[in-house]
Structure 1
Amino acid sequence: MASSFALPSTISLKKFPLNASSSFRNGFRTASISRSRVLMSASVGSQTLVDDSLFLDYKPTSAFLFPGQGAQAVGMGKESHSVPAAADLFNRANDILGFDLLDVCTNGPKEKLDSTVISQPAIYVTSLAAVELLRARDGGQQIIDSVDVTCGLSLGEYTALAFAGAFSFEDGLRLVKLRGEAMQAAADGAKSAMVSIIGLDSEKVQQLCDAANQEVDEANKVQIANFLCPGNYAVSGGLKGIEAVEAKAKSFKARMTVRLAVAGAFHTSFMEPAVSRLEAALAATEIRTPRIPVISNVDAQPHADPSTIKKILARQVTSPVQWETTVKTLLSKGLKKSYELGPGKVIAGIVKRVDKSAEIENIAA
């Protein structure tokens, strides 16, 4: 989605040197890539607009992929004690969150870690701590420098944007904290749920949703919320609609259904009450053009214009996650190696379902 604007009489070319091994930006250490990039910007009054189509012709070779909610598990983050830069991220997080995040990550209890308001900050911080663990190992900085595209599953998009320098570690954590609170509040306002449908293609899952929707009222409608990979799609909606999906799944030849341990119908209109709170927080947050492409969950495209990124992030909570398209696009564009950074191995499993020959390595913290 390229933003269009009328070019003024003066256009400035800003050159951003990106050839240092690593740098600190707004308190979060970010690695850079060994080349320079020219960004075209247009000055309109005091506002600088960035051409949103800047990254559209990106050619990926090495990617960082960050997990989303559901990847959390008691014990995550325990390796962070051994790397000062990783441990420091947890210490800085404690000041923002008001509790010992690393203690909850490593010791639980599970019920607390699984709550939306805790799991989202926990996964964000643990995933960025994994970057620091990688940086500390032999050859790790070289791997970080080689990364030329990044993305994350739902919540993981915030992690990817922080890694790419679009906002500071602290600002990203504040956004994630508010996002979790707003999504929990929206979920509390209606009886809703999510379920994974295993063993069907997306067309069959849509037919299953259509059949379920014929039996429930408008408040209980369902839709595909996560296009994860062939044979694995998550459906969100009202509780009665989800129950209808589960009851009909076998007749549509689904192998199984798995009710997801989330607060409600994420990535649907059920999350609409969260949007205004997110918009306000995003408006107050400094967001810059990422130094490398960050692929959006909403449209599976990278965006360069900070105002567009803010709009996309606000829309993300009510829009289906286009992860399958994202992975297929990266691979079709020539991606050679991926790294999953953070808890769990969900992302690696999805990538392998899309292409068994795809090379992906897990980096846990």
Structure 2
Amino acid sequence: MEQKTAVVFPGMGPSNFSTVGRFMVLDPYARRRIATTDEVLGYSLLDRFYESDDDYSEYTQIAFLVNSVALADRAVAEGGMRADVCAGPSFGQKAAAYWAGSMDFGDVVRMTAELARCERDYFADQHTDVVTHSFVRVPEDRLQEYLDDLTRRGGWYDISGRLDRGFLMLSIRAGLLDELKQAISDMGGYSMYTMRPPVHAAIFDGLRRRAEESVIGRYAIEAPRMPVIADQDGRLVTTADDMQRMLLDTFDRPIDWPAMVATLIESGVKRMYITGPENLFRRVDCTRRNFEVVNVDPKAALRTLLTPA
């Protein structure tokens, strides 16, 4: 089988101006994308992002999108990237929709801003007691025993993501978060971060309907020009309907990175460019074990920009 290359736009982690602002100011690819973004939105993204103190604000989300696409631009122009397959787990699917040719860049920027506001308004009065917690190195049999006991006690949970063996995202009532963290520690695991608002759980079907009616359903979405891998189950996205379904599934279905990895392997992918300000997907075992990973992030780009010719 022919050896192929994939571009992966990572899911979003906590981000702020102090960590990526210098890249955005200095990098020519970022500056070009920011200029288009400012024109589309009618305000200065850098100014709004600088003033934001929320790791998941509207402006932080747009900045993450812009940086991911700009880094892919850099990978093509400076690194010779020629991707055959595209993937974007969680938030990364927005950049993937653009890169694969399903949506115009300006539309993706507008959609990202509108979805951020849609989610903010939804979680202002819905599921206000739910958080999504990420953790690693937990034996899954012991975790299931804990979750079964939680269910017997009348507790609620939902798996919001599976990134590798023993590496999960779990949505749970905020009142049980301390108990969950202690249980993870007792199992020999390590708690990473907690997301507020939460993500990727079946009980957010109301958010899915609201997003479809008020945002996504209003945009022109075309069939991708290259294969895209859906982050919920690793299926290939090849039609406009498939693309819209993937964008909507993100609200009420968990991400499954190992399933995406399996499809990438089946597709003949050997090299993977991960373009975005992240340090997660490139580090998990199922990624490092199966691919030659080329990381294109703001820190690496800045080293290039600041190195004398």
TM-score class normalised by the smaller sequence: 0.7 to 0.9
Q: Which has the higher contact order (CA 8 A, sep 6+)?
A: 2
Residue aligning to 2:112 = 176
Structure exhibiting the larger radius of gyration computed from Cα positions: 1
Say whether 1:93 aligns with 2:48.
no
Q: Deviations over 1:186-205 (max 9, x none)?
A: 33322111112221244543
How far off its partner does 1:315 sit?
2.2
3-state secondary structure, aligned to 1:195: strand
Identity of aligned residues (%): 21
Which of the numbers 232, 255, 261 marks the counterpart of 1:321? 255
Which of the numbers 73, 77, 90 marks the counterpart of 1:136? 77
Letter paired with 1:68: G
Question: Are residues 305 and 213 of structure 1, via their aligned partners in 2, closer, same or farther at CA, if it must alter by over 3 Å?
Answer: same
Q: Is the 8 A contact 1:206 1:223 kept in 2?
A: no
Residue aligning to 1:214 = 152
Say whether 1:69 aligns with 2:2.
no
- What is the count of residue pairs matched by the alignment? 294
Question: Are residues 186 and 202 of structure 1, via their aligned partners in 2, closer, same or farther at CA, if it must alter by over 3 Å?
Answer: farther
Residue aligning to 1:345 = 279
Distance in 1, Cα, partners of 2:234 & 2:189: 28
3-state secondary structure, aligned to 1:349: coil
Q: Is the 8 A contact 1:216 1:240 kept in 2?
A: no
Letter paired with 2:104: S
Residue aligning to 1:33 = none
Cα RMSD of the aligned pairs, angstroms, is 2.5
Which of the numbers 111, 118, 122 marks the counterpart of 2:63? 122
Q: Choose between structure 1 and 2: higher helix proportion.
A: 2
Letter paired with 2:19: G
Question: Are residues 77 and 296 of structure 1, via their aligned partners in 2, closer, same or farther at CA, if it must alter by over 3 Å?
Answer: farther
Please report the TM-score for the alignment, with normalisation by the length of structure 2.
Answer: 0.84
Gaps of 5+ in 2: 299-309
How far off its partner does 1:75 sit?
3.0
Please report the TM-score for the alignment, with normalisation by the length of structure 1.
Answer: 0.73
Which of the numbers 123, 137, 159 marks the counterpart of 1:187? 123
Q: Deviations over 1:166-195 (max 9, x none)?
A: 101111112222222222233332211111
How far off its partner does 1:147 sit?
0.6
Gaps of 5+ in 1: 1-57
Say whether 1:242 aligns with 2:160.
no
After TM superposition, the structure 1 = structure 2 runs for residues 160-171 of structure 1, keeping only pairs within 5 Å, are: 160-171=96-107
Residue aligning to 1:11 = none
Q: Is the 8 A contact 2:97 2:103 kept in 1?
A: yes
Residue aligning to 1:295 = 229
Distance in 2, Cα, partners of 1:224 & 1:206: 11
Letter paired with 1:165: G
How far off its partner does 1:298 sit?
1.9
Q: Is the 8 A contact 2:258 2:286 kept in 1?
A: no
Q: Deviations over 1:239-260 (max 9, x none)?
A: 1343432233344x24222332
Letter paired with 2:9: F
Question: Are residues 188 and 215 of structure 1, via their aligned partners in 2, closer, same or farther at CA, if it must alter by over 3 Å?
Answer: farther
